[in-house]
């Protein structure tokens, strides 16, 4: 009898919750079947639980169309199999030719928030030392950029949650803005139990989402503002806190700057005025402000937290909205107080680590700014290059994609861990720009929509086939471990970049062993805001064997190893004067507001069964069967006005394009708003409709709200008056 396989302790391949899981080799092994059995593992974030995506994640390893050999586009326009030598030769020759003809900035790189820390670090190093291009950014610009900008401005550092997720469990109140945790991160909901039991869960969302439903039955409050007006909600809440004497004045005086300017700015946002803008009743604003204040430490409560998500951040006023949420948290004295705080819920699996180590257009490893001379000198020394050879800031994601193939813009693009054809706003324009390139190279595990457009496709390893580290939404650095061998001729991107560097004649050393890469990353991050210098694979392995992990900053000091920093700001903020900075902001509204030819708001988001562009989850039969097609949530009264039957195909049109999807009638959404998830490509791609207008500070696009026109794809007879009256009588308001 063969021995029982030893489970490999690792983490889920999906969101930034990074739930602990164990992988055991499937017995008996079935050709084409899943190679591992997934088990829940006791870990602080998930406590043994997983969501539907996590439980079925082994299915991604058995995707029937898994890429296993390099592909080259032939003279006939079709992709054909090729050897690694042939494929890399084509890439190297193309990159070298374009750089000679148009300069190194004519080559661009687009990364992903799912790459390990080791890959994110090496990709940034490869772009800046081998390619010597400033033009590198990543899909995290679509995810956390506004939260990062707001937190850096206020606190001097950006860590999604500056406290362990488990701290939420003791809170008396939690204000959750723009995040549907119950569907996007289901295991996290258990950490809201304390606030729900106290009647203190407040969910701000124009939909009565699964998360908003958690506030039912006296367990909290659901505020359903007009899309794009979350900033007005926050300004109204802060007005009440200040006007009614609910603020923590001692905290404001000793731990913040700018409070007086903020006080003057919100004086004009009394609840009735805010209500007129956002549609949330003034009494609900007062009730919410008082609830949060009662839970804060100053008033003897058990603690309060304010959390933001993409729903309020993916906006042209996203940074301002995050800033307003931080101002509210500071007025209540929450950040840095045990049992209370402010945080932003990171979405992508390594969204936190991915932006810390060099994928962003303006950053170097350790979350250093690329324009900082001391940061440049430090990183150059670690990389073994001259400081002046490191390029300056490049174009942020939306501007970078729009510049592709234009005069003076990049002529070649390397894509790693991203599917921009589906994920980017104004997606039809992105497709147009990709077609204008001289060379498109995509590294992926499956033939994503972007890979299908590529001149060269390189098959690379995925989560259970590689070693490395990830950084969760809490700033907890954790280990990803290999459980199975990669199929066919699949290689790690670390090997790909090192091989390309060799073929391009670069003298820069690019390590291919993840542990060696991490040690170099740690040195490069030393002294930066995101200091990993006291960490190593060995230390992280030991920490996880105890069922926990280590949090950055974790500097490498003298004496005993640094224990890491689970909770930040307890003794001050990493700003020049140690105080948090409050900044006055004002509401301006969305860039693409409703009008006569587009009278309805369109909001976008995710569903339980799918993740991001669906490149992984559409290939898992259980998930695809549960949610097989795109849909649009429509309030029955809106459906009646446009003559749309439940289940009928609806045509949605914006200034950017048109999409088709099946209508789902629901009273869990405002009558002036429709919701469509973004997991599908083709005619059901909602990002063909979204605007690529960006926040002026973070350069994050306004995915979450735009003006749309609805109509039946095939005109039908109007719903009769009797049906309309019945719906109205039954509360379809």
CATH no. for residue 437? 3.40.50.740
What pLDDT, on a 0 to 100 scale, did the predictor assign at position 545?
87
Determine, yes or no, domain membership for 32: yes
For 257-285, letters b (16+ CB in 10 Å) and e give ebbeebbebbeebbbeebbebbbbebebb
Type and span of the H or E element at 161: none
* Residue 666: HSE in the Cβ half-sphere, 13 Å Cα cutoff: 19
Q: Both 325 and 375 in a single domain?
A: no
Determine, yes or no, domain membership for 522: no
Helix residue ranges, H only, 126-192: 145-155, 181-184
What pLDDT, on a 0 to 100 scale, did the predictor assign at position 514?
98
What pLDDT, on a 0 to 100 scale, did the predictor assign at position 488?
95
Given 493, 513, 533, the domain boundary residue is 513
Q: Both 40 and 98 in a single domain?
A: no
Q: Both 118 and 34 in a single domain?
A: no
Q: Both 150 and 134 in a single domain?
A: no
Q: Both 151 and 139 in a single domain?
A: no
Residue with tokens 């729903």: 311
Determine, yes or no, domain membership for 275: yes
341-344 sheet: strands from edge to edge: 220-223, 201-204, 173-177, 304-308, 341-344
What pLDDT, on a 0 to 100 scale, did the predictor assign at position 4?
55
Q: Both 494 and 506 in a single domain?
A: yes
Q: Both 166 and 258 in a single domain?
A: yes
Q: Both 307 and 362 in a single domain?
A: no
What pLDDT, on a 0 to 100 scale, did the predictor assign at position 344?
95
Q: For each successive 10 residues of the chain (733 residues), what is the average pLDDT? A: 73 94 86 88 93 95 96 96 98 98 98 96 98 96 93 96 96 96 95 96 97 94 97 98 97 98 97 98 98 89 94 96 98 96 91 90 95 96 97 97 97 97 96 98 97 98 96 96 96 98 96 98 96 97 89 91 96 96 97 97 95 93 95 97 96 97 97 96 96 96 97 65 42 35
Phi (first) and psi of residue 617, to 5 degrees: -70, -25
Phi (first) and psi of residue 24, to 5 degrees: -120, 135
Distances (CA, A) of 696 to 99, 231, 630: 31, 16, 31
**E strand map for 41-114:** 71-73, 79-81, 107-111
Q: Both 19 and 83 in a single domain?
A: no
> 14: domain CATH number?
2.20.25.90
Q: Look at residue 450 and give its three-state secondary structure.
A: coil
Distances (CA, A) of 177 to 131, 210, 501, 558, 600: 40, 14, 44, 42, 22
Given 490, 513, 536, the domain boundary residue is 513
Residue 707 · residue 595 · CB < 8 Å: yes
Determine, yes or no, domain membership for 521: no
Q: Both 21 and 75 in a single domain?
A: no
Given 513, 547, 576, the domain boundary residue is 513
Q: Both 294 and 410 in a single domain?
A: no
Nearest to 350 by CA among 667, 74, 116, 516: 116
Determine, yes or no, domain membership for 538: no
What pLDDT, on a 0 to 100 scale, did the predictor assign at position 715?
59
> 187: domain CATH number?
3.40.228.10
Determine, yes or no, domain membership for 549: no
Q: Both 266 and 171 in a single domain?
A: yes
Rounded distance between C-alpha atoms, residue 645 and residue 634, angstroms? 10
Q: Which domain holds residue 656?
A: 600-729
Q: Look at residue 204 and give its three-state secondary structure.
A: strand
Rounded distance between C-alpha atoms, residue 680 and residue 624, angstroms? 11
Determine, yes or no, domain membership for 552: no
Determine, yes or no, domain membership for 620: yes
> 621: domain CATH number?
2.40.40.20
Residues 6+ apart with CB under 8 A from 273: 236
Question: How many separate domains does the chain show?
Answer: 4
What pLDDT, on a 0 to 100 scale, did the predictor assign at position 719?
44
What pLDDT, on a 0 to 100 scale, did the predictor assign at position 55?
96
């Amino acid at each position: 009898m063969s021995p029982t396989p030893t489970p490999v302790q690792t983490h889920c391949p999906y969101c930034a919750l990074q739930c602990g899981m164990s992988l055991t080799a499937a017995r008996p092994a079935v050709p084409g079947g899943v190679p591992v059995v997934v088990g829940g593992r006791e870990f602080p974030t998930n406590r043994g639980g997983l969501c539907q995506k996590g439980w079925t994640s082994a299915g991604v390893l058995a995707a029937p169309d898994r890429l296993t050999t390099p592909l080259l586009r032939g003279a006939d326009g079709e992709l054909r199999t090729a050897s690694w030598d042939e494929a890399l030769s084509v890439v190297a020759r193309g990159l070298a030719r374009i750089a000679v003809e148009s300069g190194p900035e004519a080559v661009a790189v687009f990364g992903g928030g799912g790459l390990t820390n080791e890959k994110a670090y090496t990709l940034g190093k490869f772009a800046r030392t081998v390619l010597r291009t400033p033009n590198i950014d990543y899909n995290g610009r679509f995810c956390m950029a506004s939260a990062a900008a707001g937190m850096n401005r206020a606190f001097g550092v950006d860590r999604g949650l500056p406290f362990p997720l488990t701290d939420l469990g003791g809170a008396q109140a939690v204000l959750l803005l723009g995040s549907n945790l119950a569907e996007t991160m289901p295991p996290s909901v258990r950490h809201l139990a304390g606030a729900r039991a106290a009647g203190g869960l407040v969910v701000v969302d124009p939909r009565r989402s699964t998360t908003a439903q958690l506030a039912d039955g006296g367990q909290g409050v659901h505020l359903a503002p007009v899309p794009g007006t979350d900033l007005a909600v926050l300004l109204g809440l802060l007005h009440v806190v200040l006007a009614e004497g609910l603020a923590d004045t001692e905290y404001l005086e000793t731990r913040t700057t700018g409070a007086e300017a903020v006080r003057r700015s919100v004086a004009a946002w009394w609840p009735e005025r805010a209500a007129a803008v956002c549609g949330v009743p003034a009494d609900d604003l007062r009730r919410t402000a008082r609830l949060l204040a009662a839970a804060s430490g100053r008033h003897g409560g058990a603690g309060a937290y304010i959390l933001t998500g993409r729903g309020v951040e993916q906006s042209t006023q996203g940074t301002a909205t995050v800033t307003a949420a931080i101002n509210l948290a500071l007025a209540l004295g929450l950040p840095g107080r045990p049992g209370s705080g402010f945080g932003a819920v990171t979405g992508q699996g390594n969204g936190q680590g991915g932006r810390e180590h060099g994928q962003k257009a303006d950053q170097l490893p350790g979350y250093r700014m690329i324009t900082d001379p001391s940061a440049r000198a430090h990183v150059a020394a670690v990389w073994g290059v001259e400081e002046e050879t490191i390029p300056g800031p490049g174009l942020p994601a939306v501007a970078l994609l729009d510049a592709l193939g234009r005069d003076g813009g990049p002529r070649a693009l390397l894509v790693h861990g991203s599917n921009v054809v589906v994920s980017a706003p104004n997606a039809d324009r992105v497709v147009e720009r990709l077609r204008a390139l001289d060379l498109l190279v995509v590294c992926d595990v499956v033939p994503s929509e972007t890979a299908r457009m590529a001149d060269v496709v390189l098959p690379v390893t995925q989560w259970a086939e590689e070693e490395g580290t990830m950084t969760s939404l809490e700033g907890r650095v954790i280990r990803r471990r290999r459980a199975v061998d990669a199929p066919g001729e699949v290689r790690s991107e670390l090997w790909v970049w090192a091989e390309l560097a060799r073929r391009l004649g670069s003298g820069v050393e690019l390590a291919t062993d993840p542990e060696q890469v991490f040690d170099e990353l740690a040195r490069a991050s030393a002294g930066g805001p995101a200091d990993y210098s006291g960490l190593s694979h060995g230390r992280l392995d030991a920490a996880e064997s105890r069922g926990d992990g280590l949090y950055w900053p974790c500097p490498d000091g003298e004496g005993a190893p640094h224990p890491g920093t689970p909770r930040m700001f307890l003794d001050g903020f990493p700003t020049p004067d140690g105080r948090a900075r409050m900044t006055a902001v004002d509401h301006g509204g969305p860039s693409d507001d409703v009008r006569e030819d587009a009278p309805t708001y369109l909001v976008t988001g995710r569903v339980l069964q799918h993740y991001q562009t669906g490149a992984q989850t559409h290939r898992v039969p259980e998930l695809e069967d549960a949610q097989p097609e795109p849909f649009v949530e429509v309030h029955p009264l809106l459906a009646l006005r446009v003559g749309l039957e439940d289940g009928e195909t609806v045509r949605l049109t914006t200034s950017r394009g048109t999409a088709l999807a099946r209508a789902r009638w629901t009273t869990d959404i405002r009558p002036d708003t429709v919701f469509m998830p973004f997991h599908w490509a083709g005619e059901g791609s909602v990002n063909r409709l979204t605007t690529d207008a960006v926040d002026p500070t973070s350069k994050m696009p306004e995915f979450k709200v735009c003006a749309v026109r609805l109509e039946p794809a095939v005109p039908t007879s109007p719903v009769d008056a009797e049906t309309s009256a019945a719906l109205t009588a039954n509360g379809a308001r």
